[in-house]
A and B are shown apart, each in its own frame.
Chain A
Amino acid sequence: MAKNWKTIAVGLNLDIPESDLEKAQTSLDSLDKAFQPLVRILPHDTEPAVMFQCQPEENQ
């Protein structure tokens, strides 16, 4: 189901004017349409590529 970007903007209390939201909608809809099918086939145990690393000196 397509996301309602205007509702998201209102919910997050973002100060994005209505006319600018209209512009964002088309681009985000097409991005989301391409992105969500990729997410659906991700193996469950795949970790993100960005990792936090705890360095030894932090414990000293």
Chain B
Amino acid sequence: MTIQEAAAALRARKVSSVELTSEALDRTARLDQKLKAFITVMDESARSRAQRADAELSRGIDRGPLHGIPVAVKDVFSTKGVRTTCGSKLFANHVPDHNAAVVERLESAGAVLIGKTNMHELAYGITSTNPHFGAVRNPWDLDRIPGGSSGGSGAAVAADLVFMAMGSDTGGSIRIPASFCGTVGLKPTFGRVSRFGVLPLDFSLDHMGPLTHTVRDAAVTLNALAGFDPRDETCSRQAVEDYLPAKTISIRDVRIGLPENFYFDQADPAVTQAVRRMGETAQSLGARLLLVRVPDIAALNTVGRVILLCEASALMERYLAQRDNFGADVLALLDQGRLLPATDYVNAQRLRRVMKQEFQDLWKQVDCLFVPTTPTSAPRIGQATLKFGDKEEDARLASTRLVRGINVLGLPALSMPCGWDDLGLPLGLQIIGSPFQEALILRVGAALEDATDFGQRLPTGIA
């Protein structure tokens, strides 16, 4: 069931929020021993909130489509009175005295928060094999990673534990789990959703967004989250739109760019075929498919890595004497960041400006880009490298290769299911738009979702 279907059922009194929430909590209790998708389940407060949601609806108080809907948030979002660990031993007992802006907005919209999802330690990695809270498993194959760092959110949505789970994305951390878990994941434009109350990994690359079953559910969630917040200095005053695509959508004459360089150079053939097929589907719906050359994405990724290494290490410096409190992979990245000179950081930020300009020229030619989210389906837990023909590539670098650079530019990007590989594992299409064009990429995504059935298959890895 989608958020929109549940919202309709709630208003038709076919189901109550208490029933939806009980089902979510029961299913979580049953399956999360295997999945490890949650760090904290908020059983009592969720049930009480669901009762309140039902009572409000019966009194005619309707907070919108998220009213009474069970959701989860990644454990980077501060929750007042509920521990917020960031997947780290350092914050294992951290109990905030305030809610993150995202949590405030979800609560105002009437959503029922059932828990905090597991993640890669400190949101600094893509496996979600967390050394402190357990390795999150992919519902499609429990021996595989769900992606990360918002792996618990991806697994929780894919396993149908919740209708929506919030993630954060610094170098692909919403889109990678969406791709590996066969869900939708939306990374809005930098500044569209407030970062207030989120334990940061990187000041200038962190983005907040939802993972959902459908594109329209992502749009419904963005409607609740988007908007200016003076507590986040990077939050934009750009006017908020209604992001929900209409029931009948036209994408006629939308200019879709299919890159002829970089994005398809090293990818599993199944991924390449699936993404190109989505391009053809869009074309059959009236969109214009254009072959384009994109700016140097490898360079953009390099710049992104320098910025992330420096900013993350600067943030975590005060804790780095406690080396035993970090997992080995995260500690290695934090060490690297301490060694880079300040001149590299400043020059990376200068290069960022140049690359932003290069992309502005691209948006004169196309309205959005169709590219793969990840070059493969989900790797196995512990798999260190991925193979492309006779080339081997570090699994972390390969999995972030097609997503990381977009964070440097702050562009909105949507990942949605676009097919399966030979192993029956989901593959992801990434639709990238120009700044603040969330409505456009959601409209294109919804049109493709209406024309295909890739989002409808359920994971086979769990009961």
Tell me the A residues contacting B by CB distance below 8 Å: 5, 8-9, 12, 14-16, 20-21, 23-24, 27-28, 31, 34-35, 38-39, 42-43, 46-50
Contacts and interface: CB of A to CB of B under 8 A. Distances in A.
A46 B338 contact: no
Contact of A39 (B332, B340, B351): B351
A28 B354 contact: no
Interface residues of B, number: 30
B460 interface: no
18 contacts: A9-B338, A24-B336, A27-B332, A28-B339, A31-B302, A31-B305, A31-B306, A34-B299, A35-B347, A35-B348, A39-B347, A42-B351, A48-B346, A48-B349, A48-B353, A49-B353, A50-B204, A50-B349
Contacts of B320: 15
B349 A34 contact: no
A39 B350 CA distance: 9
The majority secondary structure among interface residues of chain B is helix
A42 B354 contact: yes
B35 to A, nearest CB: 31
Interface of B: 204, 298-299, 302-303, 305-306, 309, 320-321, 323, 331-332, 335-336, 338-341, 344, 346-354, 356
Given A20-B331, A31-B305, A46 B350 contact: yes
A21 B336 CA distance: 8
A21 B335 contact: yes
The residue in B338, B341, B356 that gathers the most chain A C-beta atoms within 10 A of its C-beta is B338
A49 B349 contact: yes
Contact of A28 (B298, B336, B356): B336
A16 B354 contact: no
